[in-house]
Amino acid sequence: MTKKYLTIIFLSVLFTLLSSQKVSAENYGLSIYPPLLRIHIKPGKSITQVFKIENLSSTDKTLITSIIPFSESDNFGNPILDPKTITPWLSYFSLANSQIKFNEPFNIAAGASEQLVLSISIPEDALLTDIYATIIISTYENSLTQSFQGSSIRATLGSNLLITINDQAYPDTILKIENFYPLDNNYLKVGNLYFVDSITPIKFTALVSNEGNFSAETKGVFRVSTSNNKPIYLDGVLPVNVIAKSRRAILSIDGNNFEYTPSLSNIGPHQITLEIKTDNSNTSTTIEVFFFPLKLSLGLFLTLLIIVSVLVITSKSSRKSIDTQ
Amino acid sequence: MFSIPSLDQNMKMIYLITSIITLIFFTSLVPNIVFADNLKSPTFEVQMSTINITGGNKSNEDHSINLNDTVGQTFQGRFNSDGFVVQAGFQYIHSIVPFSFKISNLDIDFGSLVPGVPSTRTNTLTVTTGSAFGYSVKAIEDHPLRRVSGTVATIADTSCDLATPCLQTDANQWLDNTRYGFGYNMSGTDVDLGDFEDSNFYRPFPVQNVDEPAIVMSKDKMATSSAATVTYKINIDAAQAAGTYQNSIQFIAIPAF
């Protein structure tokens, strides 16, 4: 009897498993290269640039591409797109593809790649200015079935275009270093002097502000020097683009905040300098730091206090015992 | 038997110990000789004869990263002769790996909803920055979930629990099953876990043409297959008009520059 039941259950499970349909949710995957295009161009000139896009999903996709301007970014270079903005310079952009046009859907097969041939033509009378835009590729919105209850997901990815229109290769830039100070509150500030423990690693943060009308790239060094101006530590600045009228965090070459680990020998006044050099201007900021062995001194003080206390107590108890005798 | 030290002897001992410790302390503070021309850190070495921030090759100790400056006559010369200079990608990342964005499921189908019983669905967002240095993924909906036929009816975007209200850029607890609406939670890599503290923290989606898209993932460095799970949650009131409700949510992945 039990055997019969077990066989029925086994067969039921087997048939259920075999008869179940494969459920595969529609997925999305798209890649683009290059993710950034930096162009310096004179008025009256034209260029073309190929963007390679690849459909990484398991199904064919209908996509749509367009150019979205932006004029602002956050401190880490993420553009704040403004799709509502309509500027005359959007007409500088066109696609040289025969099949793909801006704002018109096109298909790309699963696993296939496609090239977007972007043409940029700057008129002779174009304003000498920077223009910033993102070329975006979005999934084309399909109509949902009436029975579908929920959200259909659309995906968009993009690549940024930073374009400087000028007669000069290096138009004037005005960069200023701001908010350069130690992090984590591991310091004591008196006036402009930072007192910092000499055996604790210390991190620094800084921003660069571009007050000019053209993008600039941050190149430079973070330097720790003695009071005699002898450098004892040097780190590179990560080269990043700072668009006009924006701020950007300055990071070390490995993309982190600048960090310096002093040694016991680093006692006394030091200078921490951040230098940024653009193609036609320099800016630097220096903060004065006094390294002193705070933790070591506290340790020694406590040690001395304990020794002295022990000796005093020993001495007192000895006196007492003499007095009682 | 044992001689008990007098107070004078104790004081002498204190002086002696103090002197020794002080001597050791100040000896340790004698500065080492610093060779100013040896500009080298554990992570970076500048190979230049002079301290100059332009020109020359720079590399780290194992030479896995090599950077070079292109400042100078090369750029200027090209600009003068051709009238333009194009730099694709990032100078300091020698990679042709593309920027990619994947979403595991484009159809978030809740099926039938039961009033007062929250329903959740998930999908996964995956980003590889390739040769870009940082990225952000933002989210926005075209409108709140809206009934597709009949008179207009919507499922409002959540405002989370009464005691812990949430905003489009500020997640908060949504545990109360008598609080109705539609919202999302984020977990995984490159998610602001200071905001989405746990799986009960939700936000409403911003609405297109009304609000700014909200950042749901971001990183200020390179990312390789950074994956985050989006949990969508709906809870409806018994008074919710019957019907099928739909909307469209857009995730926008843009590399940093």
pLDDT of residue A258: 94
The encoded tokens of residue A207 equal: 């921003």
Residues B103, A277: C-beta atoms closer than 8 Å:
no
pLDDT in tens, A144-186: 788 899 999 999 999 999 999 999 988 888 899 999 999 877 7
Q: What is the pTM of this model?
A: 0.79
Residues A221, B53: C-beta atoms closer than 8 Å:
yes
Residue B80 one-letter amino acid: N
* Neighboring chain B residues of A56 at a CB cutoff of 8 Å: 100, 102
Residue predicted with more confidence, A129 or B42:
A129
Residue of A nearest to B20 (CA): A304
Decide if B47 touches A, using CB distance below 8 A. no
For residues A160 and B89, give the distance between their C-alpha atoms in angstroms, rounded to a whole number. Answer: 10
Q: What percent of chain B has pLDDT over 70?
A: 73
CA angle (B215 as vertex; B173, A116 as ends), nearest 5: 150
The yes-or-no verdict on residue A10 having pLDDT over 80 is no
Residue predicted with more confidence, B117 or B62:
B117
Between positions 151 and 210 of B, the ones with CB within 8 A of A are none
pLDDT of residue A138: 96
For residues A94 and A73, give the distance between their C-alpha atoms in angstroms, rounded to a whole number. Answer: 24
Between positions 119 and 148 of A, the ones with CB within 8 A of B are 134, 136, 138-139, 141, 144, 146-148
pLDDT of residue B38: 40
Q: Which H or E run includes A69?
A: strand A61-73
Beta bridge partners of B232: B121, B184
Rg of the Cα atoms in chain B: 31
Rounded average pLDDT over B153-163: 97
Residue predicted with more confidence, A5 or B247:
B247
Rounded average pLDDT over A236-262: 92
* Neighboring chain A residues of B98 at a CB cutoff of 8 Å: 31-35, 52, 54
Whether residue B86 contacts residue B190, with contact meaning beta carbons closer than 8 Å, is answered with: no
For residues A65 and A42, give the distance between their C-alpha atoms in angstroms, rounded to a whole number. Answer: 26
Alpha carbon of B78: minimum distance to chain A alpha carbons (Å): 9
Decide if B70 touches A, using CB distance below 8 A. no
Neighbours of B98 (CB within 10 A): 26
Strands (E) located in A79-201? 79-81, 93-95, 106-108, 113-121, 130-139, 150-165, 175-182, 187-190, 193-197
Decide if B30 touches A, using CB distance below 8 A. yes
Whether residue A32 contacts residue A51, with contact meaning beta carbons closer than 8 Å, is answered with: yes
pLDDT of residue B46: 38
The yes-or-no verdict on residue B30 having pLDDT over 90 is no
* Neighboring chain B residues of A151 at a CB cutoff of 8 Å: 108, 141, 145, 232, 246-249
For residues A22 and B195, give the distance between their C-alpha atoms in angstroms, rounded to a whole number. Answer: 37
The encoded tokens of residue B251 equal: 């995730």
Going by pLDDT thresholds of 50, 70 and 90, the confidence category of residue A249 is very high
Q: Which of A39, A251, A37, A247 is nearest to B99 (CA)?
A: A37
Q: What percent of chain A has pLDDT over 70?
A: 91
The encoded tokens of residue A309 equal: 């206390």
Which segment, A198-202, A303-307, B135-139, is predicted with the most confidence on average? B135-139
Going by pLDDT thresholds of 50, 70 and 90, the confidence category of residue B47 is very low
Q: Which of B204, B206, B201, B144 is nearest to B174 (CA)?
A: B201
Residues A25, B98: C-beta atoms closer than 8 Å:
no
List the single residue in B14, B132, B215 with the smallest CB-CB distance to A36. Answer: B132
* Neighboring chain A residues of B10 at a CB cutoff of 8 Å: 311-312, 314-315
For residues A117 and B215, give the distance between their C-alpha atoms in angstroms, rounded to a whole number. Answer: 30
For residues B72 and B51, give the distance between their C-alpha atoms in angstroms, rounded to a whole number. Answer: 17
The encoded tokens of residue A167 equal: 């007669």
For residues A51 and B162, give the distance between their C-alpha atoms in angstroms, rounded to a whole number. Answer: 49
Residues B102, A56: C-beta atoms closer than 8 Å:
yes
HEC profile of chain B: CCCCCCHHHHHHHHHHHHHHHHHHHHHHCCCCCCCCCCCECCCCEECCCCCCCCCCEEECCCCCCEEECCCCHHHHHHHHHHCEEEEECCCCCCCCCCEEEEECCCEEECCCCECCECEEEEEEEEEECCCCCCEEEEEEECCCEEECCCCCCEECECCECCCCECECCECEECCCCCCCEEEEEEEECCCCCCCCCCCCEEECCCECCCCCCEEEEEECCCCCCEEEEEEEEEECCCCCCCCCEEEEEEEEEEECC
The encoded tokens of residue B195 equal: 């905001």
Decide if A313 touches B, using CB distance below 8 A. no
pLDDT in tens, B214-237: 999 999 988 999 999 999 999 999
Residues A153, B247: C-beta atoms closer than 8 Å:
no
Mapped onto helix, strand or coil, the DSSP state of residue A125 is coil
The yes-or-no verdict on residue A277 having pLDDT over 90 is no
Through-space distance between the first and last CA atoms of chain A, rounded to whole angstroms: 99
Q: Which of A136, A173, A165 is nearest to B138 (CA)?
A: A136
Residue predicted with more confidence, A16 or A294:
A294
Residue B218 one-letter amino acid: S
pLDDT of residue B91: 58
Beta bridge partners of B117: B114
Q: What sign has the CA pseudo-torsion B193, B219, A138, B214?
A: positive
CB under 8 Å to B216, separation ≥6 — which residues? B125, B137, B138, B139, B184, B186, B191, B228, B230, B251
Q: What percent of chain A has pLDDT over 90?
A: 63
ipTM of the complex: 0.82
pLDDT of residue B224: 93
Whether residue B215 contacts residue A81, with contact meaning beta carbons closer than 8 Å, is answered with: no
Q: Which H or E run includes A297?
A: helix A294-324
Rounded average pLDDT over A70-85: 93
Decide if B114 touches A, using CB distance below 8 A. no
Q: What percent of chain B has pLDDT over 90?
A: 59
Rounded average pLDDT over A33-50: 94
Whether residue A260 contacts residue A272, with contact meaning beta carbons closer than 8 Å, is answered with: yes
CA angle (B114 as vertex; B109, B117 as ends), nearest 5: 100
For residues B257 and B255, give the distance between their C-alpha atoms in angstroms, rounded to a whole number. Answer: 7
Q: Which backbone phi and psi does A59 adopt, to 5 degrees?
A: -130, 160
Rg of the Cα atoms in chain A: 33
Q: Which of B127, B143, B125, B124 is nearest to B135 (CA)?
A: B127
Whether residue B173 contacts residue B198, with contact meaning beta carbons closer than 8 Å, is answered with: no
Instruction: Judge if the upstream peptide bond of residue A34 is cis by omega within 30 degrees of 0.
Output: yes
Residues B86, A147: C-beta atoms closer than 8 Å:
no
* Neighboring chain B residues of A33 at a CB cutoff of 8 Å: 89, 96-99, 130-131
Q: How far does CA A67 lie from the centroid of its chain?
A: 23
Rounded average pLDDT over A205-226: 93
The encoded tokens of residue A289 equal: 């730091």
Average confidence score pLDDT of chain A: 88
Least confident of A41-55, A106-120, B35-49, B57-71: B35-49
* Neighboring chain B residues of A319 at a CB cutoff of 8 Å: 7
The encoded tokens of residue B15 equal: 């002086």
Residues A79, B251: C-beta atoms closer than 8 Å:
no
State the angle between helix axes of B7-28 and A294-324 in degrees (0 to 180), rounded to the nearest 10.
170
pLDDT of residue B67: 44
